[in-house]
């Protein structure tokens, strides 16, 4: 089955100025995962930075998280495929995939958050085909192997390795963390910094970890040495960003999709440079017309400054602006970039410059 391809008539466009590749690029977990499983444009953008940077590295905890999330996710789905009966007998893919979904345990790495995304892609690829369980199992195991081998290690920085991550939060060192424990460099030697950063995230509103940290801040403050490590080991998900944040060496640029790191940077390491994983922007795009969805008789002319598959940045013409646009307004955008018109939503504005978010997947622009 061929993937959807959007046939577009568009104005000539050129690639927007690429971000300057840093001397040292640190790949955080989201960057590592998106480099393997993200959209083609995202993969390309990350690879360009990787290839152009002076050196590339990551951390022990990033590698641990990556394996716990992506590699084990693939393994869980492949195992569910392994449970299908009659491995050599071909069947409609949709029927088999439903069984795979049913074979998945209630809790598994990556969990039900990741599966719907894989589900959509697998249906797109195999819909209408007859496949055998063996074929499906080998395919998924192959993708899992790709994930395993696709992890970029480069320079591996380690201030987090510890038995608590693999022993369910139990530390075998006694009475305090031993020489082999690197996590103590983050949580014992830099305890004050670590706890301060926990407080920052707890107070934030835009971090997924905030809720847990807020509820457990006092426990973190009260735990010392080995007890603190064990507490973290029992709850790796909400503390992962904090651990990684302090693993990034000075002078390195952190590449991530997780905007929580920006919050941490602003509060604790202002000199840390962060690149957010995002779609590349294309420059130009010519003229466009914007109409409010509620009153399409009115129209405002604008110039497309740059755009991605998901949003368009425009500058309204000063003259003849018949209406005002505010954040959240729903509009219809007519431009040569895409086929026909597109419905969008004003994401934010700055004077005459607006970013209009496009809800539809127009990957092939």
Partner 1 sequence: MLTSQHDLIADPETYPGGPEPEARRPRRLQVLIADNDRYNLRTASEYFEGTEFDTVTVSSAEAARLVISFSADALDAIVLDGRLIRDRDARDRSGYALAEEMLAQFGHLPPIIIFSRYEDRRHSEGDRDGIIFVSKYVRHEIVDRVREVIQLHRLSRRRRAGPSHPPPPVIILDDQRGAADRLQDKLTEYGIQALTCADMSALAEAAPYLPPAMFVIDLDAGAGAAGAEAIRSLKELRDASGRPFYVAALAGREESKRAAAAAADVFLVKASAEVDALELITRLSLHKMELERAAAARPQTQLALRWYEELIRQLREVRESPAHGLAAPAETVRRALNWPFLEPEEQLVLSSLYTQMLAAGRGGADAGTLDLCIEGASMLADERARDADVRGWLERARRHSAGFTLAWLDEEFFDYEP
146 touches partner 1 (CB under 8 A)? yes
Pairing, β 24-27 against β 55-59: parallel
d(CA 297, CA 322): 10
Among 134, 305, 347, 353, binds partner 1 (CB under 8 A): 134
What are the two backbone dihedrals, phi and then psi, of residue 243, each rounded to the nearest 5 degrees? -65, -45
Q: Which residues in 261-300 contact partner 1 (CB under 8 A)?
A: 277-279
> Count residues contacting partner 1 (CB under 8 A)?
50
What are the two backbone dihedrals, phi and then psi, of residue 148, each rounded to the nearest 5 degrees? -65, -45
Min CB(28)–partner 1 separation in Å: 10
* Contact range with partner 1 by CB under 8 A, out of 206-214, 265-273, 289-297, 347-355: 206-214
**Locus of tokens 């607006």:** 354
Cβ atoms of 198 and 218 within 8 Å: the answer is no
d(CA 19, CA 30): 19
d(CA 153, CA 166): 20
Is 107 exposed, middle or buried (CB count within 10 Å of its CB: 0-12, 13-18, 19+)?
A: exposed
Cα radius of gyration (the chain): 24
Tokens, residue 83: 């449970």
Among 76, 80, 114, 239, binds partner 1 (CB under 8 A): 114
139 touches partner 1 (CB under 8 A)? yes
* Contact range with partner 1 by CB under 8 A, out of 31-39, 162-170, 188-196, 343-351: 31-39
Among 37, 80, 84, 201, binds partner 1 (CB under 8 A): 37
Among 94, 120, 293, 339, binds partner 1 (CB under 8 A): 120
d(CA 156, CA 344): 42
208 touches partner 1 (CB under 8 A)? yes
Whose Cβ is closer to partner 1: residue 188's or residue 279's? 279
43 touches partner 1 (CB under 8 A)? yes
- DSSP assignment of 82-98 equals HTSS-TT--EEHHHHHH
Residue 175, preceding peptide bond in cis (omega within 30° of 0)? yes
Instruction: Classify residue 263 by its DSSP letter.
Output: H
Among 4, 9, 20, 206, binds partner 1 (CB under 8 A): 206
* Contact range with partner 1 by CB under 8 A, out of 128-136, 181-189, 246-254, 291-299: 128-136
Among 162, 232, 260, 365, binds partner 1 (CB under 8 A): 260
Other beta carbons within 10 Å of 149? 9
Whose Cβ is closer to partner 1: residue 34's or residue 312's? 34
Whose Cβ is closer to partner 1: residue 116's or residue 168's? 116
Nearest to 77 by CA among 120, 21, 137: 137
Per the DSSP assignment, residues forming a β-bridge with 330 are 345
150 touches partner 1 (CB under 8 A)? yes
Min CB(346)–partner 1 separation in Å: 18
Q: What mask of x and - would describe binding to partner 1 in positions 77 to 96, judged by CB under 8 A?
A: ----------xx--------
Residues that bind partner 1 (CB under 8 A): 1-3, 30, 33-34, 36-40, 42-44, 47, 51, 87-88, 113-114, 117-118, 120-122, 125, 132, 134-135, 138-143, 145-146, 149-150, 205-208, 257-260, 277-279
């Amino acid at each position: 089955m061929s993937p959807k391809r959007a046939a577009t008539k568009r104005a000539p466009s050129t690639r927007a100025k690429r971000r300057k590749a840093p001397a040292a690029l640190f790949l955080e977990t989201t960057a590592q995962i998106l480099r393997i499983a993200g959209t083609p444009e995202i993969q390309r953008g990350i690879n360009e930075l990787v290839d152009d940077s002076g050196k590339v590295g990551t951390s022990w905890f990033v590698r641990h998280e990556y394996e716990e999330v992506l590699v084990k996710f693939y393994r869980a789905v492949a195992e569910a495929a392994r449970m299908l009966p009659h491995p050599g007998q071909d069947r409609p893919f949709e029927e088999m995939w439903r069984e795979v979904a049913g074979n998945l345990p209630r809790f598994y790495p990556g969990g039900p958050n990741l599966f719907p995304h894989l589900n959509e892609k697998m249906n797109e690829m195999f819909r209408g085909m007859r496949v055998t369980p063996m074929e499906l199992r080998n395919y998924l195991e192959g993708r899992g192997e790709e994930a395993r081998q696709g992890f970029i290690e480069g320079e591996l920085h380690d201030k987090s390795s510890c038995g608590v991550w693999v022993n369910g939060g139990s530390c075998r060192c006694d009475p305090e963390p031993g020489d082999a424990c690197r996590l103590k460099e983050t949580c014992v030697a830099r305890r004050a910094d670590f706890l301060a950063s926990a407080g920052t995230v707890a107070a934030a509103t835009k971090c997924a970890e905030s809720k847990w940290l807020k509820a457990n801040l006092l426990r973190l403050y009260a735990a010392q040495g080995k007890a603190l490590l064990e507490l973290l080991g029992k709850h790796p998900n909400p503390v992962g960003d904090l651990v990684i944040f302090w693993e990034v060496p000075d002078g390195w640029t952190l590449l991530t999709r997780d905007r929580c790191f920006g919050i941490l940077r602003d509060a604790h390491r202002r000199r840390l440079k962060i690149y957010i994983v995002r779609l590349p922007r294309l420059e130009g795009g010519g003229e466009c017309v914007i109409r409010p969805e509620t009153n399409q008789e009115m129209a405002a002319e604008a110039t497309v400054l740059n755009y991605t598959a998901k949003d368009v940045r425009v500058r309204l013409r000063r003259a003849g602006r018949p209406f005002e646009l505010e954040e959240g307004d729903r509009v219809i955008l007519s431009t040569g970039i895409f086929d026909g018109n597109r419905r969008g939503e004003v994401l934010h504005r700055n004077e005459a410059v607006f970013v209009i978010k496009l809800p539809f997947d127009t990957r092939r622009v």
